[in-house]
Chain A
Amino acid sequence: MTGATDDADEQWMQMNDTRWRGLGLTDPIKNIQDKWLLLPAFLKVKGLVKQHIDSFNYFVDVDIRNILKANNKVTSDVDPRFWLKYTDITVGFPDRTDPDAIDKSVTPHECRLRDTTYSAPIYVTIQYTRGKKIVKRPNVCIGRLPIMLRSNKCVLAGRSEAMLARMTECPLDPGGYFIVKGTEKVILVQEQLSKNRIIVEVDPVKQIVQASCTSSTHGGLKSKTYVVTKKGKIYLRHNSIAEDVPIAIALKALGIQSDKEILLLTAGTTEAYRSTFSQCLEEAAKLSIFTRHQALEFIGAKVKVNRKVVGPRRPAWEEALEALATIVLAHVTVKGVDLRPKAIFVGTMTRRVLMAMQDEKMVDDRDYVGNKRLELAGQLLALLFEDLFKTFNVTLKSGIDKVLKKPSRTTEFDAFNTMQFTGDLITSGFVRAISTGNWSLKRFKMDRAGVTHVLSRLSFISALGMMTRISSQFEKTRKVSGPRALQPSQWGMLCPSDTPEGEACGLVKNLALMTHITTDVDEEPIIRLAYLLGVEDISLATGTEIYSPGTFVVHVNGSIIGITRYATRFVYKFRKLRRAGKVNEFVGVYINHHQKTIHVASDGGRICRPMIIVENGKPRVTAEHIEMLKRGEVTFDWFLHEGLVEYLDVNEENDSHIALYESTIEPTTTHLEIEPFTILGAVAGLIPYPHHNQSPRNTYQCAMGKQAIGAIAYNQLNRIDTLLYLLVYPQQPMVKTKTIELVGYDKLPAGQNATVAVMSYSGYDIEDALILNRSSLDRGYGRCQVLRKYTTLIRRYPNGTFDRLADAPVENGQIHKKYDIIQPDGLAGVGERVDPGDVYINKQTPANSNDNSFTGQASAVSYKNSAMTYKSPIPGNIDKIMITDTDNDQTLIKVLIRQTRRPELGDKFSSRHGQKGVCGLIVNQEDMPFNDQGICPDTIMNPHGFPSRMTVGKMIELLAGKAGVLAGKLQYGTAFGGSKVEDMARILVENGFNYAGKDMLTSGITGEPHEAYTFFGPIYYQKLKHMVMDKMHARARGPRATLTRQPTEGRSREGGLRLGEMERDCLIGYGATQLLLERLMISSDKFEVNACEDCGLMGYNGWCTYCKSSKKMAQLTIPYAAKLLFQEMMAMNVVPRLILADAS
């Protein structure tokens, strides 16, 4: 007995000694409670749309200065002594542009209402010569820049909730958009391939390997350089060189003359690469090109020259040298004519091609998120500003030249005056670009449409979802799956669920909750630091050293700066410095072991996210830190500053070992996730228990959550939007998620907690239709309001006349019914009911408004009615009327008309699990089944919705919701966590309910119990914006198109319902000729024509104009479209003749 226990003890000891993933059996399970609290702390500092705001701030604070510096001088061709220099640039705060305004301050909401632009002046400090003096003028306004809301130039930045309320601004509004001419515009995040990096690809069909590199310098010049294989040989290809250049010749031209050196720089010492490369060397020899000069001559003959100035023709080698130095691989810095760095870069590209030729796996993945850069509002505005500023300077210069050209001037020339008259080029340029979304900058070879979008204010979530959206530059029509597929590297960076269905699927993405997008960081100090950390300068190295085993090449933002033999140590030290705050926290560094390179990245547009640092198997964030955070003593930035948390970009993330949970930390672990649910974005974060759902369902919900009607913003009743949907009684969901609390969806919800019975009822619930309880509707369930804006301008015309508002006309002492809501000011009274056909703005326009020759009294002209009448078939109420004036002093009237709608048959509803359905039947409460407590469902859902959809999350939501109702608190359905089913079942049982959530129901019709138990409880239901009232349409007779005389098309034009080609085919197949005739001609565009039996042409009134006779005229019925066709053909000199067989 004792022996056995000893044995067991020993075994136990042994087991305990063994380390599993570095942990013993008895080691306590470590867990930092509430480490997710870092997430609200992060969002508090950064906000939900920090990427937009950071980018805009960077542009306004830093980039705009760089642009000014690059274009800071204006000279004159006429007077060489004249110059004008910009020394400083600042962007002011948004202000009012009205010249006579006393209070210059302006709020974004005023701009929304008044249809103006929320913009701030751009001030420059200029220095210029006036005569012989140098004059300095500060604060010269050169134009106005639309300001991003909540950026540091916005009046809303850093304001308290009370102050925001005073400005009628919603504290939950994330900002990050612009207000241009009263519309809210978002500049979507654009996804692009990273610049200045080598990408190696293989075309498996054509057996081509190519390394490409898109160079982009700050000047905005972009060019793409390729190193490609062609029949086993390697060539350099560039747009400005007409033909592919053999790589050996290219390298020779770049100053690597000896073949030995070329070989070393490309193939290195690896035998396999050497033999592959040998024929490239041979090719150069065959073409008998040995020296640099020969190589340059060879290339120079092929360089495409596009010079504007026609000067003396330069020798070919000079052209080649210039092309190689400035255009090919433009981002590699060239000092003087030392092209060695460029040669090394080309060598590296060649080597990558050789590697890929040997080993198929050594290629890069275009779709890898680490190879992507995101372009944000700031960058796009910077490009736009640079373009506009250059244009401004050109115009200014020509203006100055014009003045200086004049031989004698009375006053001394002051360039400032010319500047004042240069116009609002910059202002209008910005406004035009943002309001149309067309970024066509010839200077930068950029022509993009659809950059900006109107911010969707359908629901709070749709606006938020729009701010995190990323659009890809990829063509939507191409049938490739690669760019659309879910990339493993987008874990935690881009939401895996939130993407549209259909053509843009996978191309439009959304940011995850904790994603941050970097802005540019100056690389100069980083390069210096790299040298300090033991990197040897690349120009001192030869191929032997570069490619010797154990040597790592160091790249900074794609350009090669040096080599080191202690890669791990270098990276370790670099990271140490970054954690200590000596290097910017957004600089990424990682080792690529396949290519033996170290990459340091400080460029903007990289996607990164914060993570807890783990050292020696222990997370650096401890429970004490979290306690401090809870007490509010520290912020997220403190964690960053203390080196407890750091940002990792995708590439560095790939070089790290990240534990998902604390319990899974291993000795090699370097980082710990803050919370796993942050892989989802703001929209997918609303779904409770998404990890229990089939994944497409989550994607469907992401699309539908944006259509849900609910509360939009705290200022929703002060807004006047074109179309606004509001729910009368929105509720926060019973089953929340942490994301819901973080984004504020619990404060601006879009839906209601409906009591749902999952059962079949009446057969009007097939195909996902829902049954609604009439009494619930009486009490306000699903009730919503639709507010629509109607605008008009009270204009002043150039001839001095003006529009006017008039009181209702009195006819025989009575006011016509359609004018009954018009008040003496010519506008409908607020609160009045507007019936279809009613006039709500009784506007009148002068009869001669376009008569520019009119010179009489404006008050004496006659007026004609141009009243605004209400056209919707359902009456509404006047919600509010606003009278204001726009920027150009026109009186603007906005009328908001509200309809309150109660759900009806055919209205669309959806749960949060991609399960949509229309209302199929509305049932009286007494007919509804009820449970032992007497509770009737609000909604009955058919159980057939479950098996094929596999939305288990919905069932758990019901269970958790029911438990929450019984326990009197909200439950959580956070992804990868949330309230456990077991606990929920326990709460149910404790409250006397069945553990599975199934209640015994009694039929409300027979009064007998149901034979089956019914899954019964609350589920959060959203009312979607699609309502039958807006869609139902039928027509018997109605308007016809003028040209074809066929019925018009579409509901808005009261159009007919088309009997299309396929329907026609059915009728033909069935042989229903009379029906065909009726549908296609008689009920459509039948037309009586007279045709001549002799000539077959159409005449009229029984007279053939061709035969000049009325003898053989026959009358026949043809479609008007056919008659039109004949006449159009006749107009083209084709004569269609009607041959009439049995005319009687």
Chain B
Amino acid sequence: MQSDIYNPRRHVGIHAEHISNVSSNDFPGHYPDEDNSWNLDLFRKKLQVKVNKLSQRSIQFDLVGVDASIANAFRRILIAEVPTIAIEHVYVWDNTSVIQDEVLAQRIGLVPLNVDPSYFEFKSASQEQATDRNTLVFRLDVTCTRKPKAAAARGAKKAEPEPEEIYNHSLVTSGDLTWEPQGEQNEVFASNPPRPTNENIVLAKLRPGQALSMELHAIKGVGKEHAKWSPVATATYRLLPLVILNPEKPVPPQHAEKFQKCFSPGVIDIDPVTKAVSVNEENLRNETMSREVLRHKELEGCVALRRVRDFFIFHIESEGPYAPENLLPESIKILKQKISTIRSAAEQLQVEIEGEPAVEGDVEMAEA
């Protein structure tokens, strides 16, 4: 498998001023006398998913052996179509802060909540009644006051005190949102009460005498509609970088260090004795492809930069209720749903045209 990535057919060429071979070529008719038609067994053999890094809020994994369109579909679904819960309706009872109602509402809307959207239904039209199955209610009631005896405690310290020292609630953060259970929500969310995933997001600043009092209704939505419903901070991929040394023209020993500096740290090893350079396969994926090496005349022809077209290094940062490792499965679920929608529609179309239902399977579909 490892050597397989050096198959030039899988390579995207990285040149000084352009990129070559960006499109895939493993389809029938591209190479003469080769079949290359889609084959489930081959696909199973080639497909590989390997998690490299997993943390509380992010995941990095390799997705190998799929077409760019598939990888991109996952990325797009993650950004735009995986549902989450976010605050949509804000009922302001009181807002005497300097920040305007609309602006505050927009800020509150962008606060990610830890609620699993599968408990909820989409609240389609705005006239639909809010129920405990489609709406989550939060309250934001904050009043800023002076801390009693704060001035005395400070004594004769520096001239300008920090607002936190002398006022209560001078900062309104996402932690100040309080959940108000409705209907049977109390039981459903007993183990994991709804709250923001991050309690330290500053929503507004207050001074003594200013107060906020508002009711917030969170509903289910998708990132397509508004960025606040996107479950990810970023979902992206890059192609595996390759540095291929030219055996015909080795890097001159006097330029070895310069050569090394042209790449990300750890990508190039230098033999301490012979000053011969070699590519560190382990760290190769850290290469950022700055193409710095292509700038230098003395290093010309020593190296070829490539990327592997079907080797996607995915990086997903979760910012919603989903654990990072659950995001890809979630997107696959949605993709499958979409496919089944299309399939049923296609079948219906076929019935309309030919008057009989399709036999089954994808291959027949492709022929049809």
Contacts and interface: CB of A to CB of B under 8 A. Distances in A.
Interface of A: 717, 728, 774-775, 778-780, 783, 785, 831, 877, 879, 898, 900, 924-926, 930, 932-935, 988-989, 992-995, 1000, 1002, 1004-1013
Nearest to B74: A1007
Nearest to A1012: B18
Contact of B72 (A925, A933, A1006): A1006
30 contacts: A728-B103, A779-B227, A783-B106, A831-B101, A877-B102, A900-B102, A925-B230, A926-B80, A926-B223, A932-B288, A934-B236, A934-B315, A988-B290, A992-B264, A992-B290, A995-B295, A1000-B14, A1002-B237, A1005-B72, A1006-B68, A1006-B69, A1006-B72, A1007-B75, A1009-B12, A1009-B22, A1009-B239, A1010-B22, A1012-B18, A1013-B17, A1013-B18
Interface in B189-240: 223-224, 226-228, 230, 234-239
A879 B100 contact: yes
B230 A775 contact: yes
Contacts of B315: 934
Contact of B75 (A926, A933, A935): A926
Contact of B238 (A778, A932, A995): A932
A780 B227 CA distance: 11
Count chain B CB atoms within 10 A of each CB in A780, A879, A994 and give the residue with the most. A994
Contacts of A1009: 12, 19, 22, 239, 307
A932 B290 contact: no
B75 to A, nearest CB: 7
Given A877-B102, A879-B100, A1011-B20, A831 B79 contact: no
Given A717-B98, A775-B230, A1010-B19, 13 more contacts: A728-B103, A877-B100, A877-B101, A900-B103, A924-B224, A925-B230, A989-B290, A989-B292, A993-B288, A1000-B19, A1002-B237, A1009-B239, A1010-B22
B23 A1008 contact: yes
Interface string B283-305: 00000111110010000000000
Contacts, number: 102
B106 A780 contact: yes
A265 to B, nearest CB: 71
B299 to A, nearest CB: 14
B346 interface: no
B228 to A, nearest CB: 7
The 9 A-B pairs of least Cβ separation, nearest first, read A1007-B72, A934-B236, A992-B288, A778-B227, A775-B227, A1007-B68, A926-B76, A934-B234, A932-B238
Given A900-B100, A924-B80, A1011-B20, A934 B235 contact: yes
Contacts of A780: 106
A636 to B, nearest CB: 26
Contacts of B270: none
Contacts of B103: 728, 783, 900
A943 to B, nearest CB: 14
A778 B288 contact: no
Count chain A CB atoms within 10 A of each CB in B80, B100, B110 and give the residue with the most. B100
Interface of B: 12, 14, 17-20, 22-24, 68-69, 71-73, 75-76, 79-80, 92, 95, 98, 100-103, 106, 110, 223-224, 226-228, 230, 234-239, 264, 288-292, 295, 307, 315
Contacts of A989: 290, 292
Contacts of B236: 930, 932-934
Contact of A898 (B98, B100, B239, B264): B100
A879 B307 CA distance: 56
Contacts of A900: 100, 102-103
Contacts of A935: 234
Contact of B18 (A775, A879, A988, A1011): A1011
Nearest to A1009: B22
Nearest to A773: B227
Given A926-B80, A1007-B69, A1000 B289 contact: yes
Contacts of B12: 1009
B309 to A, nearest CB: 8
B79 A925 contact: yes
Contacts of A785: 100
A1004 B74 CA distance: 11
A1008 B20 CA distance: 11
A801 to B, nearest CB: 37
B292 A1011 contact: no
Contact of A995 (B100, B110, B230, B290): B290
B291 A994 contact: yes
Contacts of B288: 932, 992-993
Nearest to A932: B238
Contacts of B71: 1007
B19 A1011 contact: yes
Nearest to B103: A728
Contacts of A1005: 72
A989 B258 CA distance: 13
Contacts of A1010: 19, 22
Contacts of A778: 110, 226-228
A934 B224 CA distance: 18
Contacts of B264: 992
B102 A831 contact: no
A1013 B20 CA distance: 11
Contacts of B73: 1007
Count chain A CB atoms within 10 A of each CB in B226, B291, B295 and give the residue with the most. B291
A115 B40 CA distance: 80
Given A775-B230, A994-B291, A1009-B12, A831 B19 contact: no
Count chain B CB atoms within 10 A of each CB in A774, A780, A932 and give the residue with the most. A932
A589 B97 CA distance: 59
Nearest to B105: A900
Contact of A1013 (B19, B75, B102): B19
A1004 B235 CA distance: 11
Contacts of B23: 1008
Nearest to B291: A994
Nearest to A775: B227
Nearest to B261: A989
A1006 B238 CA distance: 14
Contacts of B98: 717
Contacts of B95: 831
A611 to B, nearest CB: 38
Nearest to B317: A934
A718 B302 CA distance: 66
Given A779-B110, A933-B236, A1004-B72, A994 B101 contact: no
Nearest to B92: A831
A783 B227 CA distance: 15
A195 to B, nearest CB: 52
Contacts of A933: 236
Nearest to B228: A778
A992 B110 CA distance: 32
Contacts of B17: 1012-1013
A712 to B, nearest CB: 15
A1126 B135 CA distance: 71
Nearest to B233: A934
B112 to A, nearest CB: 13
A11 B288 CA distance: 52
A1000 B228 CA distance: 28
A778 B223 CA distance: 10
Contacts of B22: 1008-1011
A1010 B71 CA distance: 16
Contacts of B110: 778-779
A724 to B, nearest CB: 13
A934 B72 CA distance: 12
B96 to A, nearest CB: 9
A211 to B, nearest CB: 64
B45 to A, nearest CB: 22
B14 to A, nearest CB: 7
A878 to B, nearest CB: 10
A1008 B290 CA distance: 19
A624 B42 CA distance: 78
